[in-house]
Amino acid sequence: MKPEYQEYWVNKGVCLLILGRYEEAIYAYDKVL
């Protein structure tokens, strides 16, 4: 995975956590790993 995509998924996960959308945030973090 390209580094810029990793940063995208981490940022998306943070935003989703703030919104309380935990399952979607976990999916975003899984994409980074």
The helix-helix angle for 3-18 and 22-32 (nearest 10°) equals 160
Signed CA dihedral, 19, 24, 28, 33: sign only: positive
What are the sequence ranges of the domains in the chain?
3-32
User: What per-residue confidence (pLDDT) applies to 2?
Assistant: 74
pTM: 0.81
* Alpha-helix residue ranges (DSSP H) falling in the chain: 3-18, 22-32
Question: For residue 24, how many C-alpha atoms fall within 13 Å in the half-sphere facing its CB?
Answer: 10
Residues contacting residue 23 through CB under 8 Å, at least 6 positions apart: none
Residue 15 has pLDDT above 70, yes or no: yes
Mean pLDDT for 6-33 is 96
